[in-house]
Copies of this chain bind each other. A is one copy, B any other.
């Protein structure tokens, strides 16, 4: 059955499967039916299994109201609700650095709407950046099949400008200039750590 978040978005069960990412990456690369979340999870599995990085998606926080105990080994949650996370979805460690990011997609062909991000995500990324973490967003223009990695500091400038009455989206032309475009690959499906290498190697504290 299809399970949806309150906002109507389809909920996907974390896979925890042991299937080699290499196998289905061969079949499914480049916008062929996987969600951006699935593509990133797949890439993270590749990075993990190849000792390149340890990056996980955090579980969705759930408020539990009622649990039944038919037996101690099989507690059944009978009433619970989706909660808003107080952080971003992904974090982990790579080359000794703390990484923290969010992944979002749009159907727009011309600009990335800022409403895809939430106050608490922006606040969390500012906090992590302040502690020396590397923070960014991976954004996909689904209709164009194009994928970018934008540094959080660049996102903040549009976010803050919006708060002051500025435009409510980031033009694709600006993203083309400021962000790193990511090309779909096989292993990993989305080689986004290459763009992180550039950030780390450029200026250690400029992310």
* A positions within 8 Å CB-CB of B: 1, 3-8, 11, 13-14, 16, 48, 51, 53-54, 56, 58-64, 66-67, 69, 72-83, 85-87, 91-98, 100, 124, 127-128, 130-133
Q: Which chain B residues lie closer than 8 Å to A132 at the CB level? A: 93, 95-97
Which of B58, B61, B64, B130 is the one whose CB lies under 8 Å from A3? Answer: B64
Q: Which chain B residues lie closer than 8 Å to A7 at the CB level? A: 72
How many copies of this chain are found per oligomer?
2
Given the contacts A4-B75, A96-B131, A96-B132, A62 and B80 also touching, CB distance less than 8 Å: yes
Decide: B16 and A86 in contact? CB cutoff 8 A.
Answer: yes
Decide: A61 and B59 in contact? CB cutoff 8 A.
Answer: yes
- A207 CB to closest chain B CB (Å) equals 11
Decide: A72 and B6 in contact? CB cutoff 8 A.
Answer: yes
